[in-house]
Structure 1
Amino acid sequence: MLNRGSIRRSAGAPLALVLAIASAAPATAAADKGCAAPIAVCTHPVAGGFALIRPGRPATVLIDANADPAVRQAATSFAEDLGRVGGRRATLIDDPARAHGPVVLIGVRGQSPMLDRLIAARKIAAEDLAGQWEAYRQIVVEHPLPGVPRALVVIGSDRRGAVFGTYDLSARIGVSPWYWFADVPVARHRRLDITPGARRDQPKVRYRGFFINDEDPSFSGWAKARFGGVNARMYRHVFELELRLMGNYFWPAMWGKAFHQDDPENGRLADAMGIVIGSSHHEPMMRAQAEWHRPQPGLTTGGPWDYTRNGANLRAFWRGGIARMMSKGGGRAYDSLVTIGMRGDGDEAMGGGTATALLEKIVADQRAIIADVTGRPAAETPQIWALYKEVQDYYDHGMRVPDDVILLFSDDNWGQLRRLPAAGDHHPGGYGIYYHFDYVGAPRNYKWINTNAIEKIWQQMDLAYQANARAAWIVNVGDLKPMEYPLSFFLRQAWDPDAMTLAAMQAFPRDWAAAAFGPGQAAAIGALLTRYGQGVALRKPELLDPDSFPLGGQTATRLDGGAFGRAVETWTRLERDVARVRTHLAADQRDAYFELVEHPVRAMATLYRLYYAVAWNHRLAGAGDPRANVFADRAEAAFAEDQALTRAYHALRGGKWDGMMRQTHIGYTGWQEPARQIMPAVTRIAAAGPVPPIRFATLPAPDPDTLHIEAADYVGAEGAAGLRWAVIPHLGSGRGAVTSLPQGRAPTRPADGMRLDYAIRVARDGPVDIGLTLVPTLDTSGAGVLRTGVSLDDGPVAVLEDRLTPSPDDPATAAQRAWTRAVIENRRDLHLRLPHVAAGAHRLSVWRLDGNVVLGGLTVTSRPDDR
């Protein structure tokens, strides 16, 4: 028998400190947050402040007559936002002679005569914006123009700098980026003042964006029903959302679609709004894959997507993509980031083996096309090479692309980064990350609803940033609509990863909820989002089935729900709390609440009840127990409830989102989705008499021979080599997981002394099994192993090796089987047997050897001494 030792966590222990920091952080409000800070938004008069809104009178918005279309669009949106907040749309003008009273002046340094005069007159300082990428400054300026006593100036280093500075103000006054795409209401204010002073900001990751993918049937069906297709009318909302989220880079929806051909206005609109258009990891040279299978005017396309057999046609096809990119006029290109390289047709591998020489020739030929069509060296056109799936093998075998090309590493499609730059690596073009919130592939698709915990996103993307992957971050969001919360977090972290500290990550759920629903229920809603993220990470819905978790025992009078029952009860409690919070919300907040919080929680709770009932039906029917019939009824009721939730979603706002939840998610038999929702089979038993009532037994006591220890419950933590231990609350299945910070650092040795200590007590002599439960991660160095040390008291350090390696094209391998289990269960278990441990108190130590090891918990099991 084992018991926790009596050693107490010392004062100021990391978990307590982390939780205290989180609880002390103030909730974000649309106004009056830190009114002493420069350019803060206040609902009361401020000395020297700028009158943004007075009752019935918003400030005038002023731009230059020749303002870039992206700046004009952002200014138009801001004028509308002032109306959303104050009740009256602001007047937008482009003639300074018409300006009088309070004015919001928006422009670009070096492109705005009005702003350049203010710079020359030393009324605003903008020297540090010169040559910067997407930087902006917001400044309250006295007497900037005749008849204008005071102005709020937004000056960008470039056009997107001005755009982001403007949309930042929109968010500060309470207009959520999701006001349209999630129906988040805007709180009204009769008065808003901006505090005097100035603030400056700019992004840390150069290209930041998302990829609409796997978009059939939901996103595509919705867009066709509402807009007539995936066209510019629809994309206007998508592009505005991305810019409000401070993103700039976009991969268009691509299954059966051709962004530029389906609606020629798509590309022109993106450029006009300031969006950098790219194409997915397997669509090179600004061409949609669907275009290859369509007739192209003046081109011989089609045939095999094979460079060795059809290179001339492929080069002509690619040339057309670059020529279209250059069709803006005047020798100018639409704002683009060109994907280079090649995969097989239909997002498949290009062929057997690693044909490095062939791919090097393809890249060289593509760059020759770029140079020829643009009339400039290829290095002057931004390019990216996606090292996705098997393409990473080319990189591992030594293939290198020219210095100016961004190298885009990827995760394993399930949230674990596969490769990062090694310490000391330097590629002038920089490194990026392609991440997944949605995926089609083994072991099963996950496409239906959000299943991404921000704690995992933070840990992996912080790792990427610390490893200098800072040139591009792009995430696959599937249908977009179910991913509002994690996408908001991903792009917030991408804007400033340094500011997204562990404490900021912990405050994010509450802050995000406050921005959407106000401060009153922000803490409660933030907690619901966190509990949902942790619960849904336990098992993605497409991976649920009657065998997902064990049931307990049964008698003629009682049933024990076991682990499955405990999971169902967790979801039921969360569902009740969601309903309770809903009662405290205003009527105009409830649609957004349903979309962002209520639907995903109720949908998951319903799915768990469905499979739990089916599991009991199978168990009892197999024993001839008529109680199986009760569970057959419950299963069918849950299946019907799932359909009712979908109908409720589609009925919102008069059918605004009709089709967006059409994705099938019940009835998987392999990796691919079922064509329709399939009710799991249940069996009914002919009962001779009344069916006995269903009574559940008290859950059994824990195994007295096994001690379960939360990773956060260490009694000592020794740092070394500039590293410290940190708890990431709510990551993993317990209260939190532990890893070393800063991430991305070199391995350490036991001699360095970097360890966590846990107190245990062994009641009898004998063998002891030590188990480490890890949050799944992958070695990102190419070595294929992550090492962790374990020791007891002052004994030797045993090295445990985690060789978790995705092998998507070789599913029969042991490595693939281990990876499949890890992503299904969202955990990884390592084991060590100590042959003999004496009874009494002991110190169990876990040693940091490699980085990116995330400890979720420990088990210590006493075994009978069989010597």
Structure 2
Amino acid sequence: MARAWPSARWASFCGPISEAGGDKGTAVEGLYLFRLLRGHAVGLIGLAAFLLGTPARAEEWVHDRARAGDFMLAAKGRMARIVTDAADHEVVWIAAADLRRDIATISGANEGGTGQVWIGTLGRNAAIDRLVAAKRIDVGRLKGAWESFLILTVDRPVPGVAQALVIVGSDRRGTAYGAYEVARAIGMSPWHWWADVAPLHRDALYVAKGMQRFGPPSVKYRGIFLNDEDWGLVPWAAGTHAPGEKPLGPQTYEKVFELLLRLKANILWPAMHKVTRPFNADPANAALADRYAIVMGSSHAEPMLRNNVGEWTAPAADFDYLKNPDGVRRYWEERVTTDAAYESVWTLGMRGIHDSGMVGPKTVEERRATLERIFADQRAMLGKAGIGAAPQVFTPYKEVLDVYRAGLKVPDDVTLMWPDDNFGYIRHFPDAAERARKGGSGVYYHLSYLGAPLSYLWLSTTPPALIRQEMGRAWDKGARTMWVVNVGDLKPAELGTDYFLRMAWDVEGTRAEPVDRWVERWAADTIGATVARPVADILRDYHRLNFERRPEHLQYHLPAEKARQSPLTIDEADKRLAGFAAMEEALGRIEPLVAPERRDAFFELVAYPVRASAAANRRFFAAEAHDRLRDVDLAEAMRRGQVAHEADAAIGALTRHYNRAVAGGKWRGMMAVEPADGQWRSYRLTPPILPPVDAVAPAPGHERMANETASWTVVAPRDFAVEAGWRLVDGLGRQGDMLAATGIGGRAKAAVTLPAGRWQMVVDLLPAYADHDGDPLELTVRVDGVDHALAVTRETGSRDWAMGVLDNRLSLTLAGELAGGGHDLAVSASDSGVMIEAVRFMPVQADRALH
């Protein structure tokens, strides 16, 4: 619930807004303006643009030179006045204050121009409501809409005001989004604070005459989960950002909330590890979330908004609903009492303390019965508190999905939150019955993960195209109520977070745009228009190369298994390293072209992840080559050892620069290749063993001659003739695109000519899941008119699954061999989970394992 201010009724529409949200002014000033409004001439503004619905690009409706009828936001050292109503929500004052500051920062102007910017919520801003009543603004499609807003110019809104820019929202977040949309349009990046994207100066700012309409969003609840904050977020907050408060506290969450509003997000699952003070342990956190209109939720492991690792003080064995139901209920009821007044999404169900299975019930059937009892008791608590209609969610995560599959009955108005497998591949998509449920469905997705088989917490390498593909499938299957993404420490997941949330706001518009084009526009906004294209090219290669193996996954054995070398030959590894080297060279060419004020942002968003991932690969593959060559080519082995040591030093130097130099040391403690503790060892990479420094001194030798190795013949997705039932997915996979089935059947065809000899055929698939829960991925490959059925089961947690997510592919081998010469190929599949990365052919006589 939003809280209204009990103080002065009206705001001054000409007075300045304070840092805290606004000068509430006097009733006399407000009433004077409303009297001026009464009887003013009536006119309909921007109806045609309103009916079109889709907003224009910012560059089309905000520009630097005046055109007929434009609204002058800032020019010649003067900026329009920002006006609000004291009856409005506090988040509106916050957003208005931020917009005023943003305009001044970008233009250098002072408030005092002839125009005014009116920011208000329907029903909470009397001046805007008067315009509506006088039919000067058509809000027919705005009333009752969820988080929607209009931005429009109004000539002579009252006597004495020649023109106003009106930002009107359907609700409190819609209004705030409108203010921040103007800020984004004039050049203030949502990442201005979290990635130091300094705004570029503009002498003048004009808003085009007419109307822009935004919303409602595609997904109702859209947000992030701060998780595994031990690595960076907590050390940084405790030691650098807010050393005076127990982490994480209001000083940090205020910055998070502002970012969410600028990204048009509305929900947060707060950090919840033991190192973190529970969110609700400090009442100021919840009150701050309410001020910012952020909906609070909690993860799958934290029912009823309780942080179990920090708030459950009894023994973990007592968190048992079979033997201690009264104690657990009292624990949950405490949170219902403290947070009933706030806007929240209540997580139902129960798991163990932290990310563990439920204590007590032993069988799946016992867990099912216990959970159904828990649902009833938790909902009764909410009803008793008067918030029985509050949104509720249940996440069948990990072992809980098995309980759901066993027939668990979830109340119809509860949202089912479907998880991915922690590596970006969604495990379950709603079926027809689930799509018909009142509560709808959502998705819990990962851009960062601590867990088996290997964690990935250092660099953010999930391709935007994978987000588009999997979240697009979820949308198409009806998961449209809530999307939450695990972003780890938030940095350096800026690009992935932005893409996920923009897609949640506008699914169709975002996924219709080629990924490279979207990244180019993002680079223009965050780095600069002059280097946007080459930055997008670098980030495309960054995601492609690291998709083959994430930097955190540069070992080819699972924990507790015997160590083994990579399947790449030295020459193949060198080819991979050449790709990273080319990327670094391109980085070096454009770095001098970046505006000085954007150098910090460039380092954080582009240079650090690119160079650090390149150094991680050099370190691993050089160390491996050293070991392989030690007994056959000592000079070359020593040279490789030296490369490995230099790469290791480079990672350290880059990380120190991030923590100590960037933005004047603002991020000290944030970036860590590995955490400073020894926890979670079984989920973490084993760093490569480097040879002793004294054993790798430069030595005379010769350049190692490349070994002739048998090579694959590859049929890439773009080599297929794409027919009905298939489409190309850009930006994904080792080949740069993938061939994806649409789910309606049909064939895609290609031809290949193989050299003389005998060949083995392999089909590489993305390790996604089938449309129907539990089904294998199935496809048919036709070779020269003969059909071959292929299938692979998807058992999350198995060794095959583990190797699949580490490789980001599944390789299926056709039985039999092919002779050299020409062959006709065709593939068919009726499941949208089938996505082909390549069809490969390997000479059978080659003594080499498939990989």
TM bucket, shorter chain: 0.7 to 0.9
1:86-140 deviation per Cα after TM superposition (whole angstroms, max 9, x unaligned)? 113547xxxxxxxx82111111112211111000111101121121110111111
Q: How far has the Cα of 1:654 moved from its partner?
A: 1.9
Asked if the contact 2:415–2:442 (Cα under 8 Å) also holds between the matched residues in 1, the reply is yes
The residue type paired with residue 660 of structure 1 is M
Cross-structure match for 1:859: 840
| Equivalent of 1:47 in 45, 52, 68 | 68
For the pair 1:827 / 2:809, whether they are aligned, the reply is: yes
Report the counterpart of residue 257 of structure 2 in structure 1. 239
More off after superposition, 540-549 vs 64-73: 540-549
Give the aligned partner of residue 848 of structure 2: none
% same residue: 34
Q: 1:360 to 1:535 in 2, by over 3 A?
A: same
C-alpha distance 545-792 of structure 1, shift in aligned 2 (>3 A): closer
For 2:267 and 2:76, the matched residues in 1 are separated by 38
Tell me, in whole angstroms, the C-alpha distance in 1 between the residues paired with 2:229 and 2:695: 45
Kept in 1: contact 2:149–2:177 (CA 8 A): yes
In 2, Cα distance between equivalents of 1:172 and 1:34: 5
Pair 1:34–1:113, CA change in 2 (3 A): closer
Alignment of 1:720-799 (within 5 A): 723=725, 725-741=726-742, 745=743, 748=745, 754-762=746-754, 768-795=759-786, 797-799=787-789
- Equivalent AA in structure 1 for residue 438 of structure 2: P
Q: 1:595 to 1:686 in 2, by over 3 A?
A: closer
Of 154, 159, 175, which aligns to 1:146?
A: 159
For 1:76, give the aligned amino acid.
A
Aligned residues: 772
Contact 2:302 2:350 in 1 (8 A): yes
1:20 equivalent in structure 2: none
Secondary structure of the structure 2 residue equivalent to 1:770:
strand
Counterpart residue number, 1:671: 682
Answering whether residue 699 of structure 2 is matched by residue 717 of structure 1, we say no
Quote the residue 2:45 is aligned against.
none
> Structure 1 residue 407: deviation in Å?
0.5
Aligned CA distance change for structure 1 residues 245 and 696 (closer, same or farther; 3 Å): farther
Instruction: Give the number of the structure with larger relative contact order, counting CA–CA contacts within 8 Å between residues 6 or more apart.
Output: 1
Indicate which of 662, 666, 669 corresponds to 1:659: 669
Q: Aligned letter for 2:566?
A: F
Q: Are residues 825 and 690 of structure 1, via their aligned partners in 2, closer, same or farther at CA, if it must alter by over 3 Å?
A: closer
Q: Is the partner of 2:413 in helix, strand or coil?
A: coil
> Equivalent residues in 2 for 1:237-276 (5 A)?
237-256=255-274, 257-276=276-295
What residue ranges of structure 1 are gaps of 5+ in the alignment? 1-30, 92-99, 295-299, 327-332, 553-560, 749-753, 808-815
Query: In the alignment, which residue of structure 2 is the partner of 1:634?
Result: 643
Match of 1:388 in 2: 397
User: In structure 1, the residue corresponding to 2:129 is in which secondary structure?
Assistant: helix
* Residue number among 683, 691, 701 corresponding to 1:693 in the alignment: 701
Q: CA deviation at 1:400?
A: 2.3
**Map of 1:20-31 to 2, 5 A cutoff?**
none
On the 8 A contact 1:771/1:830 being kept in 2, the answer is yes
Distance change in 2, residues 1:463/1:548 (3 Å) = farther
CA contact under 8 A between 2:623 and 2:641: conserved in structure 1? yes
Residue 217 of structure 1: which of 231, 248, 272 is its match? 231
CA distance in 2, matches of 1:89, 1:270: 30
Structure 1 residues 194 and 548: alpha-carbon distance in aligned structure 2, compared to 1, 3 A threshold: farther
Displacement of 1:177 = 0.3
- Alpha-carbon deviation of 1:79? 0.6
- The answer as to 2:69 corresponding to 1:59 is no
Contact map agreement 1:625 1:685 (CA 8 A) in 2: no
1:342 aligns with 2:350: yes
User: Which residue number corresponds to residue 610 of structure 1?
Assistant: 619
Report the TM-score, using the length of structure 1 for normalisation.
0.85
Please name the residue that 1:94 is paired with: none
What per-residue deviation string (whole Å, max 9, x for no partner) do you get for residues 388-416 of structure 1? 11111122111121111110000000010
Deviations 1:23-68 (A, max 9, x none): xxxxxxxx99686x5xx00111111111111121111111112220
Taking the aligned partners of 2:436 and 2:477, their CA distance within structure 1 comes to 11
Residue 15 of structure 2 aligns with which residue?
none
Question: Against the structure 1 CA distance between its residues 89 and 463, is the aligned structure 2 distance closer, same or farther, given a 3 Å change threshold?
Answer: farther
CA–CA distance in 1 between the matches of 2:617 and 2:289?
42
Is the 8 Å Cα contact of residues 446 and 540 (structure 1) preserved in structure 2?
Answer: yes
Partner of 2:93: 72
Residue 680 of structure 1 pairs with residue 677 of structure 2: no
Counterpart residue number, 1:421? 430
**Structure 1 residue 490 displacement after superposition:** 0.4
346 and 445 in structure 1: CA distance in 2 versus 1, 3 angstrom threshold: same
Give the Cα separation in 2 of the matches to 1:563 and 1:690. Answer: 24
Aligned amino acid, residue 827 of structure 1: R
Choose the corresponding residue for 1:460, options 442, 466, 470: 470
Structure 1 CA distance for aligned equivalents of residues 687 and 810 of structure 2: 31
Task: Give me the TM-score of the superposition, normalised by structure 2.
Answer: 0.87
How far 1:770 moved relative to its partner? 2.3
Q: Give 1:551 shift.
A: 5.5
Cα deviation, residue 480, structure 1: 0.5
1:296-348 deviation digits (Å, cap 9, x = unpaired): xxxx897621111111111001001111112xxxxxx2111111101111210
CA offsets 1:384-442 (integer angstroms, 9 cap, x no match) = 11111111112211112111111000000001000011246411111000000111111
- Change over 3 Å in CA distance of 1:90–1:540 after alignment to 2: farther
Among 146, 157, 161, which residue is 2:174 paired with?
161
The equivalent of 1:170 in structure 2 is 183
Q: Counterpart of 1:736 in structure 2: which amino acid?
A: D
Structure 2 runs not aligned, ≥5 long: 1-54, 557-563, 846-851
Whether the 8 Å contact between 1:710 and 1:735 is mirrored in structure 2 is: no
Three-state SS of the structure 1 residue aligned to 2:492 is: helix
After the TM superposition, which residues 294-313 of structure 1 pair with which residues of structure 2 at under 5 Å, given as runs? 294=313, 304-313=318-327
CA distance 1:678–1:790, shift in 2 (3 Å): closer
* 1:793-808 pair list within 5 angstroms: 793-795=784-786, 797-807=787-797
Does 2:629 correspond to 1:620? yes
Equivalent residue number for residue 5 of structure 2 = none
Which runs of structure 2 are paired with 1:107-126 in the superposition (5 Å)? 107-126=120-139
Question: Are the structure 2 counterparts of residues 778 and 692 from structure 1 closer, same or farther at C-alpha, using a change threshold of 3 Å?
Answer: same
SS at match of 2:752: strand
**Mapped partners of 1:602, 1:549: distance in 2:** 22
Letter in 2 for 1:358: T
Which residue does the alignment assign to 1:280?
299
Deviates more, 1:266-275 or 1:846-855: 846-855
**CA-CA distance at 1:518 after TM superposition:** 2.4
Displacement after TM superposition at 1:680 (Å) = 2.1
Match of 1:289 among 302, 308, 314: 308
Inter-CA distance 548–150: structure 2 relative to 1 (3 Å threshold)? farther
Q: Contact conserved, 1:455 with 1:730, CA < 8 A, in 2?
A: yes
